[in-house]
Amino acid sequence: MLPYGRQSISEADIEAVAAVLRGDWLTTGPVVAEFEARLGALAGGHRAVTCTSGTAALHIGYAAAGVGPGDEVVCTPMTFVATASAASILGAKVVFADVAEDTALLDPAAVAAAVGPRTRVVAAVDYAGQPADYDALQPIADSVGALTLADAAHSIGGTAGGRPVGDLADITTLSFFPTKNITTGEGGAAVFRDPSLGRRAHEFHFIGLVRDPDRFRITDEGPWHQEVHELGLNYRLTDVACALGLSQLSRLEQFKRRRAEIVSRYDAALSGMDGLRLLGRRPDTDPTWHLYPVRVLGGRRREVYERMRAAGIGVQVNYIPVYWHPVYQDLGHRRGECPNAEAFYAEELSLPLFPDLTDTDVDRIIHTIDKVLG
């Protein structure tokens, strides 16, 4: 089965990991610091905190923003559940705002209608790799004293208006799951434009430990002393994983180029194909494409999904609207809340997209979908 996404691991990646295994540090050592510095530089010169997953990055991001009971987080429903659930688990109420009909990106007009005095964060997702419209979202968030969060699990290395992902929102979260644009196995990172949030995030992911003597509230305890001011968890990524991440980061431009080539090949063959509609494109963006979503018209999505899979092509569906999950139904959410997201979900099918996909593979996928639809 041709998967919808797959990691690309080179001999240099393997050697980078092996070199760490031969050294002194397995976990928080120099390679974590180097990976964080390189990520931060890529993301607009801001502080990056690495962690064990994209889900952990969201938890860290919301915790650093101070999200808690009584707060609201305005969130896109067209995402993986973690974008919302990481806020819910901190006690916040998630308010779902609909997406634009053509791009499936959070719609600023829907956000403007959803924010209020309790809104602490406006959370968008760079669906498929296209940055959401943060230029429109930021003033809406600012107007109620909220922060913007970009779930950039799909979009590392992309730009909008010439600015890199990581510099577009107050908080940006990344995932390094194997299907993503770079991988550390499991892994993620959160990037903060405000250094004080970055420090809070670092401490949250490090069990809450404060190690700077200038900030100690217990003084004169001894040189071994460290203390906790706010509760935290252990979400630390290891030197072993960060060695893979650093090596993958050096290949990101090459991955981005190959993903763009595949997207162009799909576009050329599929635009105008009867029974399909392609994803709307945002102007003035240069995405690192993570997904290639098409819309299957005429109520045939499930049939096409099953026939593509039967032909050995591992298509995927991204995503069921988050509030359809029973946990959100139990919290009082109902189908019908976000009609654009629901209409998109009803037709969405993601075709395989990963750097090692060959042109021959792409042509087979195109030929198969043409035959299935025909």
Ligand X SMILES: Cc1ncc(COP(=O)(O)O)c(C=O)c1O
Binding site for ligand X (CB under 6 A): 53-55, 79-80, 82-83, 125, 151, 153-154, 175, 177, 188
Kindly state the smallest distance separating residue 349's Cβ from ligand X, in Å.
16
Which helix (H) or strand (E) segment holds residue 122: the answer is: strand 119-125
Residue 203: Cβ within 10 Å count: 23
Q: Is the peptide bond before 328 cis (omega within 30 degrees of 0)?
A: no
State in angstroms the smallest separation of the CB of 35 from ligand X: 16
Residue 168 or 373 with smaller CB distance to ligand X: 168
Residue closer to ligand X (CB basis): 128 or 146: 128
Token digits of residue 13: 């990646």
Sheet holding 348-351, edge to edge: 276-278, 292-296, 348-351
- Looking at beta carbons only, is 186 or 370 nearer to ligand X? 186
Closest by Cα among 163, 122, 125 to 145: 122
Q: Is the dihedral of CA 183, 45, 42, 14 positive or negative?
A: negative
Contact in structure between 301 and 294 (CB atoms under 8 Å): no
Closest CB 119 distance from ligand X, rounded Å: 20
Sheet strand arrangement including 47-51: 47-51, 188-192, 171-175, 147-151, 119-125, 72-75, 93-96
The answer to whether the beta carbons of residues 240 and 26 sit under 8 Å apart is yes
Shortest Å distance, C-beta 216 to ligand X: 34
Provide the β-strand partners of residue 47. 192
Pick 353 or 373: Cβ nearer ligand X: 353
Q: Judged by CB, which is closer to ligand X: 189, or 308?
A: 189
Give the shortest CB-361-to-ligand X separation in angstroms. Answer: 22
Closest CA to 176 of 321, 13, 18, 63: 13
- The burial class, CB within 10 Å (0-12 / 13-18 / 19+), for 145 is exposed
Residue 40 vs 54, nearer CB to ligand X = 54
| Helical axes 359-373 vs 252-270, angle rounded to 10° | 30
Contact status, residue 338 vs residue 241, Cβ threshold 8 Å: no
Q: How far is the CB of 52 from ligand X (least distance, A)?
A: 8
User: Closest CB to ligand X belongs to which residue?
Assistant: 54
Nearer to ligand X (CB atom), residue 55 or residue 340: 55
Distance CA 311, CA 93 (A): 43
Q: How far is the CB of 213 from ligand X (least distance, A)?
A: 35
Nearer to ligand X, 51 or 243 (CB): 51
Rank residues 119 and 175 by Cβ distance to ligand X and give the closer one: 175
Distance in Å, CB of 50 to ligand X, minimum? 12
* Cα distance between residue 42 and residue 59, in whole Å: 22
The least distance separating ligand X from the CB of residue 24, rounded to whole angstroms, comes to: 28
Q: Are strands 119-125 and 72-75 parallel, antiparallel or unpaired?
A: parallel
Q: Output the smallest distance, CB 271 to ligand X, in A.
A: 25
Q: For residues 85 and 119, which CB has a smaller minimum distance to ligand X in the complex?
A: 85
CA distances from 346 to 210, 296, 297, 300, 314 (A): 48, 9, 9, 9, 18
